[in-house]
Amino acid sequence: MRAALAGVGSLDDWQAFAESWNRLGPDPYLARTGRARRRRHAVFTASSDGTIRGEANQPHFQSSEYNRLQGDIERWFEPITDAVADGDCLRTILRYCVAFFGGLSPDVAQWRIEVHQFRIEARPGEAGEPTPEGVHRDGVDYVLVLMVDRRNIESGTTTIHLADGTELGSFTLTAAFDAALVDDGRVFHGVTAVTPFDPAQAAHRDVLVVTLRRS
């Protein structure tokens, strides 16, 4: 995956990009359910010619059809910082997504792109839930999940399912740049909870999630 990304742009600021996960804000909506997650969020618009434009900070919204846990509400999160949004890595990742997924849907002239930085923390006696809504669809066209950092955790296995629940396969993103590319209109996905190998040490799973929806 790293080679594929490098084929469309620079990844020179990867270290700063990965370190930005240390400055994510809390997810206040998830905290209301007794769960913990840290995140930042941003919205972009992309044209089929590859032009990508950052949009003003705005809420993330999913209907209850796709998110039974937190659907039908506008959720406002701390925005992705300008340094990350304008940096080489994120712009390269977005260009890759537009080219790759655009090749699967050549009729789409413009995409709405949402970008999420997620950190799931695993604590002593408390597993971290990467997808607290369970096996689900995001209600978009395509999804990229990119591993950024994985520290002192076990599990976190991604599963892919048909609509009737039949599991098609599973895999675990373990190293930086490991990725899942999902056709959200055709399959469901989920991730198992993560627990720390050493409960005395910090443990987290850092991923970038990019979703594309025709606009």
pTM above 0.85, yes or no: yes
Return the C-alpha torsion angle 51, 54, 56, 62, nearest 10: 90
- The phi and psi torsions of 196 (rounded to 5 degrees) equal -75, 140
* Structural domain range at position 38: 2-214
First to last CA, the chain: 27
Nearest-angstrom CA–CA distance, 108 and 144: 18
CATH at residue 173: 2.60.120.620
More confident position, 42 or 76: 42
Number of domains in the chain: 1
User: What's the Cα-to-Cα distance from 28 to each of 35, 42, 76, 123, rounded to whole Å?
Assistant: 10, 17, 9, 18
Is residue 176 scored above 80 in pLDDT?
yes
pLDDT in tens, 23-62: 998 887 664 444 568 899 999 999 988 899 999 988 865 5
User: What's the Cα-to-Cα distance from 98 to each of 92, 192, 213, rounded to whole Å?
Assistant: 10, 28, 11
Burial class (CB in 10 A: 0-12, 13-18, 19+), 67: buried
Confidence of residue 126 (pLDDT cuts 50, 70, 90): confident
